[in-house]
Amino acid sequence: MSSTRSYGITGFGGYIPRLRMERSAIAAAHKWMAPSLRSAAKGRRAFCNWDEDALTMGVEAARDALNGTPAADIGKLVFASTTMPFADMLNASVIAGALELPKNLQALDIGQTQRAGTSALLAALADSSRPALVVASDRPRGKPASTQEIGFGAAAAAFTLGSENIVADLLGSASVTDSFVDHFRSSDNKYDYFWEERWIRDEGYLKIVPDAAALALADAGVNAAAIHHFIMPTPFKGVATALAKKLGLAAGCEADALDENCGYSGSAHGLLMLSHVLEKAKAGELILLIGFGQGCDALVLRVREAIADFKPARGVSGALTDAQSLDSYMRLLANEDGVEPEWGMRAEKNTKTALTEQYRSRDQVAGFVAGKCPHCGTIQFPQLAYCVNPACQKIATGFEQVPLRDVPCKVLTYTADWLSYHPAPPLYVGFVQFENGARLLMETVDINTQQLEVGTPLRVVFRIKEIDKGRGYRRYFWKTTPLEA
């Protein structure tokens, strides 16, 4: 068994929001009308903070996969999600700006299907003309008191593709299309409508997936018993095991569904599981990856020797352990737009974004790029018309461009503001000292009340800065968060 392809996965990473809701708290909130939820109350589910969405998670997953490697060679970006924040704007352009990807980049959004993640990866692997970045990110919402609310999660995964140092390559694949409707969400609704679980399992998964998997295995020239890792993303328990048995796969080859500390993350979940598998996989092992939704994608991947030399910055394993456990169900409900709290008059402010200024300053703001004075070495953000060092004050010509997003930093000063409007009070803000000498006033997020103090190590994260609810626009920027939850 060999492959003549010289193009494949060269890097991988993932991201799971730090906030995790105890499922027991969700079940307790609904026990007055849905006591049966107690049976699903084990573990925790990930959910986005108010300033996180599919784009911010996607940026963080891509940073994890790139692990500090310059992205100047990336020629194609594919972003997959069913919960993109913009309906008729290229969402991938936000990710490209944050990562400082080349301007001559080909960018594409893929959505409207639970197969978006696997289809994006499959399409990108089929085009070996340029190095690529594939990002899948989703935050599916479940109606309060539904099994989806307690079982869903939020996460993102990312993969770099290229012809050098390949960690996994595609041996074979197959796709089938079938109008089997297991669930749907109309364009004017925020919740999915699911049909009966037994019907979905017996008539959907157990009949559609085997056909696609058999075609992919035949295309790869691989016997089912040779598969080491079976990745079957689904919100239903027991489906992966039943399919593995029906396909004739080795016992126990089912990949961890990441249910205990994350939950089902929609179209991103298959790629999230793949990234997790690759963290532990060994050269020569075979992976069968499935994407289900109005048909099926099936990919047979082979792990290659370069897997021993690649490590993501944190990986899915690191994201799973970087958790902040919460039991306030109302926090989850507010973040998922399930309730509209009365925030008071301070929340009644105009947050309209000046798109002209946003465009003019995009090279600095989007990628968090500071300027370094060539005369005195002072680093400043934003870059002004002159050096801010009182002993220098030279005109800002020939400044070196210095990205700050990957520079280690720590708390210099901080305050917890309960008076200003903030969707997750209090607002933590203060000066952040960067290791390279830069010093900025920044917001710090995802912290415990006793966690912050002068000298606390921080890292920079990409988040929503403000939401213009009147016009539906989201403005993004960079914030800081403690290294550990």
In a domain, 2, yes or no: no
pLDDT tops 90 at residue 3: no
Percent of the chain with pLDDT over 90: 90
**Per-residue DSSP letters for 335-394?**
HTTS------GGG-------HHHHHHTHHHHTTTEEEE-TTT--EESS--SB---TTT--
In a domain, 180, yes or no: yes
Last residue of a domain, one of 311, 335, 359: 335
The residues with which 380 forms a beta bridge, in sequence order, are: 371
Residues 6+ apart with CB under 8 A from 137: 15, 54, 55, 57, 58, 61, 79, 80, 81, 83, 155, 156, 157, 268
39 confidence band (pLDDT: 50, 70, 90): very high
Shared domain for 363 and 255, answered yes or no, is: no
Shared domain for 52 and 86, answered yes or no, is: yes
Of the candidates 119, 177, 182, 116, which has an alpha carbon nearest to the alpha carbon of residue 148? Answer: 182
Q: Evaluate whether 48 touches 15 at the Cβ level (below 8 Å).
A: no
What CATH number has the domain bearing residue 66? 3.40.47.10
Shared domain for 30 and 76, answered yes or no, is: yes
pLDDT tops 80 at residue 4: no
Distance CA 173, CA 218 (A): 9
In a domain, 381, yes or no: no
What CATH number has the domain bearing residue 458? 2.40.50
In a domain, 274, yes or no: yes
In a domain, 95, yes or no: yes
Q: What is the pLDDT of residue 2?
A: 39
Shared domain for 306 and 259, answered yes or no, is: yes
The residues with which 386 forms a beta bridge, in sequence order, are: 395
Shared domain for 233 and 118, answered yes or no, is: yes
In a domain, 399, yes or no: no
Shared domain for 79 and 203, answered yes or no, is: yes
Distance CA 397, CA 371 (A): 10
1 confidence band (pLDDT: 50, 70, 90): very low
pLDDT in tens, 408-445: 999 999 999 999 999 999 999 999 999 999 999 999 99
Supply the mean pLDDT for the chain: 95
68 confidence band (pLDDT: 50, 70, 90): confident
Distance CA 218, CA 289 (A): 14
Report the interhelical angle of 239-247 vs 206-220 (nearest 10°): 50
In a domain, 328, yes or no: yes
Q: What is the pLDDT of residue 5?
A: 54
CA dist 419 to 343, 351, 428, 442, Å? 11, 18, 11, 17
Q: Which two tokens stand for residue 194?
A: 């699911």
Q: Evaluate whether 216 touches 230 at the Cβ level (below 8 Å).
A: no
Shared domain for 467 and 358, answered yes or no, is: yes
Shared domain for 304 and 361, answered yes or no, is: no
Distance CA 378, CA 232 (A): 52
Q: Which two tokens stand for residue 458?
A: 């921080």
For the segment 189-214, the average pLDDT, to the nearest whole number, is: 94
What is the Cα 379 distance to its own chain's centre? 31
Distance CA 115, CA 297 (A): 7
pLDDT tops 80 at residue 257: yes
Shared domain for 240 and 294, answered yes or no, is: yes
How many domains does one find in the chain?
Answer: 2
For the segment 111-127, the average pLDDT, to the nearest whole number, is: 97
In a domain, 376, yes or no: no
Beta strands, E only, 26-68: 44-46
Q: What is the pLDDT of residue 346?
A: 82
Q: Evaluate whether 191 touches 179 at the Cβ level (below 8 Å).
A: no
pLDDT in tens, 341-400: 888 888 888 889 999 999 999 989 999 999 999 999 999 999 999 999 999 999 988 899
Domain hosting residue 186, numbered range: 8-335
Shared domain for 355 and 278, answered yes or no, is: no
Shared domain for 432 and 309, answered yes or no, is: no
Q: Evaluate whether 45 touches 151 at the Cβ level (below 8 Å).
A: yes
Shared domain for 129 and 216, answered yes or no, is: yes
For the segment 151-164, the average pLDDT, to the nearest whole number, is: 97
Tokens 């190590």 map to which residue?
457
pTM (predicted TM-score): 0.96
